[in-house]
């Protein structure tokens, strides 16, 4: 018992050491320390962060004048700006901080799983996440996934602490703060708070006595307050800019390319060739047409006459243009086409997600990542079956995988968009691994308990 207690106390330090070794491997041995900004949207996030830190403006402008933008919420760019204010626009520092977020997420996942499962499952879940290749490699990218995943795990940890009897107001407020931050970093997550509140309400109505928790409405009020506190500066700013409290103007683009994925004009793999030959040329053509219209017909555009900045008008008109094109594409689709496409769509959303350096993606390492992921999924299946009767009460653990799948039936898919839901899949992978190990030991009796990796947990 004493040895187990010591092991539990040392476990966070072990996870930190593992993540530190991964950071050394990725940043130095694989040469990512001095690499340019990585990620297709990376330079955009960086530019907004620079403008936030210099001018306190959300803008993609690279030179004066700094024109405002409504394209996407500034959550991730604000995170970058905070780092830049400390490290002077240091790209390597961003990568170091994101590796620290990987550790923090692994630790929070450990605490989360420990609240509902045994210590072995908690430790193995944390280890699986801390060594999960897509997360390890994404820590070097200027993309939202690492931060979003950290907030998502923290959010569910708050939910479980509330369900376990924690402070109604403190945890409710924390839930709202985390949900608001999540929406600012990844706007498609804006409905997470209502979904969580619905889950808590259904638990209160239909759950067992042990699952029910008093003070729900006080917790919801605190959560709504925290949520509004985080989102209101951005929404009020947009209200003054445009007259509407819009969360962003970029959803039309995602809807359009989602429709093209449904009709087969763009594959669900969304290859580099498709980005170069379809996405970028179409974006450039549409932006040029909108910009020309704004410059030549400003007097006839109501938004311009209402005093909305031209840069914001262009983004709003571009979004509307994409939404109209989306409707046209969907009119040509049949319900059968859409339904048949959904399983393939979901499979690609939850596919391998290889963000290793380009040289590694071409060889054996990519096959290793595919095999590693297949094994994790295969272990998750018996893990889910072993917990089948308890799945309804464990709904917070599968909330994000289900939510992300539902959202990306609407918006376009890339495998990285499912990363915030993957820690929760890894929990059931851990359950499955331990279940298989225990079954093999009981069935064959030849498994050396003291010498196997799982026995060390």
pLDDT at site 170: 87
Q: What is the pLDDT of residue 445?
A: 73
What dihedral angle (degrees, nearest 10) is formed by the CA atoms of 226, 228, 233, 234? 120
At 175-188, the pLDDT tens digits run 999 999 999 999 99
Q: How far apart are CA 240 and CA 308, in angstroms?
A: 9
Confidence of residue 454 (pLDDT cuts 50, 70, 90): low
Summarised one tens digit per residue, pLDDT across range 209-241 is 655 666 788 899 999 999 999 999 999 999 999
Per residue in 90-108, pLDDT (tens digit) is: 999 999 999 999 999 999 9
The candidate with the shortest Cα–Cα distance to 187, out of 150, 139, 148, is 148
pLDDT at 59: 96
- Cα–Cα separations (whole angstroms), residue 252 to 249, 319, 337: 7, 5, 21
Residue 363: per-residue pLDDT:
79
Residues 6+ apart with CB under 8 A from 211: 163, 203, 393
Model confidence band, residue 298 (pLDDT cutoffs 50, 70, 90): confident
Section 116-129 average pLDDT? 96
pTM of the full structure? 0.94
Alpha-helix runs per DSSP H in 88-188: 91-114, 119-130, 133-138, 145-163, 168-185
C-alpha distances out from residue 111 to 146, 273, 382, 397, 402, Å: 18, 42, 23, 13, 22
pLDDT of 447 above 60: no
Q: Please check whether residue 142 is in contact with residue 45, taking contact to mean a CB–CB distance below 8 angstroms.
A: yes
Report residue 422: phi and psi, to 5°. Answer: -75, -30
Tens-place pLDDT, residues 18-76: 999 999 999 999 999 999 999 989 999 999 999 999 999 999 999 999 999 999 999 99
Q: Tokens for 284?
A: 């450039």
Tokens 């769509």, residue?
A: 345
Q: Distance from CA of residue 365 to its chain's centroid?
A: 24
- The CA-to-CA distance between both ends of the chain, in Å, stands at 13
341-377 as b/e, with b when 16 or more CB fall inside 10 Å?
A: beeebbebbbbbbbbbeeebeeeeeeeebeeebeebe
Q: What is the pLDDT of residue 204?
A: 82
Residue 4 has pLDDT above 70, yes or no: no
The DSSP code for 189 is: G
Nearest alpha-carbon partner for 424 in 165, 136, 117? 117
Note the pLDDT tens digit of each residue in 162-179: 988 888 888 899 999 999
Q: Quickly state the pLDDT bin for 16 (edges 50, 70, 90).
A: very high
Q: Find the range with the poorest average confidence among 127-131, 269-273, 429-433.
A: 269-273
Share of the chain above pLDDT 90, in %: 79
Closest CA to 19 of 90, 78, 94, 107: 107
* pLDDT, averaged across the chain: 92
pLDDT at 109 over 90: yes
Question: What is 61-76 written as a DSSP string?
Answer: -SSSS-----SS-SHH
pLDDT value for 54: 94
Domain residue limits, the chain: 2-248+334-456, 249-333
Report CA-CA distances (Å) from 234 to 42, 145, 247, 314, 319: 21, 21, 8, 19, 19
Q: Are 394 and 447 in contact (CB under 8 A)?
A: no
pLDDT for 297: 82
Does a cis peptide bond (omega within 30 degrees of 0) precede residue 125?
no
Helices marked H in 186-309: 192-206, 216-242, 251-263, 272-274, 280-296, 302-305
What share of the chain in percent tops pLDDT 70?
Answer: 94
CA distance 53 to 41: 19
Angle at alpha carbon of residue 85, lines to 76 and 56, rounded to 5° = 65
What does the pLDDT look like over 328-343, one tens digit per residue?
A: 999 999 999 999 999 9
Q: Please state the φ and ψ torsions of residue 227, each to the nearest 5 degrees.
A: -60, -45
450 pLDDT higher than 60? no
């Amino acid at each position: 018992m004493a040895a187990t207690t010591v092991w539990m106390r040392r476990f966070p330090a072990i996870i930190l050491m593992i993540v530190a070794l991964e950071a050394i491997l990725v940043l130095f041995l694989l040469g990512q320390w001095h690499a340019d900004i990585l990620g297709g949207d990376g330079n955009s996030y960086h530019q907004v962060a620079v403008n936030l830190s210099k001018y306190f403006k959300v803008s993609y402008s690279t030179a004066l004048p700094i024109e405002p933008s409504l394209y996407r919420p500034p959550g991730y760019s604000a995170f970058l700006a905070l780092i830049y204010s400390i490290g002077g626009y240091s790209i390597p520092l961003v990568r170091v901080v994101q590796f620290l977020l990987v550790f923090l997420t692994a630790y929070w996942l450990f605490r989360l799983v420990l609240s509902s499962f045994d210590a072995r499952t908690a430790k193995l879940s944390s280890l699986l996440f801390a060594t999960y290749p897509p997360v390890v490699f994404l820590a070097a990218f200027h993309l939202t996934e690492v931060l979003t995943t950290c907030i998502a795990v923290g959010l569910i940890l708050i939910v479980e602490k509330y369900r376990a009897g924690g402070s109604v107001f403190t945890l409710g407020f924390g839930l709202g703060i985390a949900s608001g931050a999540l929406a600012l970093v990844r706007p498609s997550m804006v409905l997470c708070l209502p979904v969580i509140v619905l889950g808590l309400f259904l638990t209160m109505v239909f759950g067992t006595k042990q699952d029910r928790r008093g003070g729900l409405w006080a917790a919801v009020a605190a959560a709504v307050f925290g949520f509004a506190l985080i989102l209101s500066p951005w929404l009020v700013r947009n209200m003054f800019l445009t007259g509407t409290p819009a969360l962003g103007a970029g959803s039309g683009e995602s809807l359009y390319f989602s429709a093209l994925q449904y009709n087969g004009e763009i594959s669900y793999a969304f290859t580099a060739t498709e980005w170069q030959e379809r996405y970028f040329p179409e974006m450039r053509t549409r932006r040029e047409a909108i910009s020309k219209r704004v410059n030549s017909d400003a007097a006839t555009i109501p938004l311009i006459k209402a005093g909305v900045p031209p840069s914001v008008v262009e983004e709003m008109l571009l979004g509307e243009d994409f939404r109209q094109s989306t409707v046209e594409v969907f009119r040509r689709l049949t319900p059968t086409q859409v339904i048949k496409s959904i399983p393939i769509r979901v499979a690609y959303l939850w596919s391998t997600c290889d963000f290793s350096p380009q040289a590694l993606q071409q060889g054996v390492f990519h096959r290793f990542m595919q095999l590693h992921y297949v094994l994790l999924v295969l272990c998750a299946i018996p893990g889910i079956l072993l917990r089948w009767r308890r799945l309804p009460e464990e709904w917070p653990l599968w909330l994000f995988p289900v939510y992300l799948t539902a959202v990306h039936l609407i918006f376009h898919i890339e495998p990285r968009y499912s990363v915030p839901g993957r820690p929760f899949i890894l929990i059931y992978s851990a359950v499955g691994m331990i279940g298989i190990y225990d079954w093999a030991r009981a069935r064959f009796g030849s498994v050396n308990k003291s010498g196997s990796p799982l026995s060390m947990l």
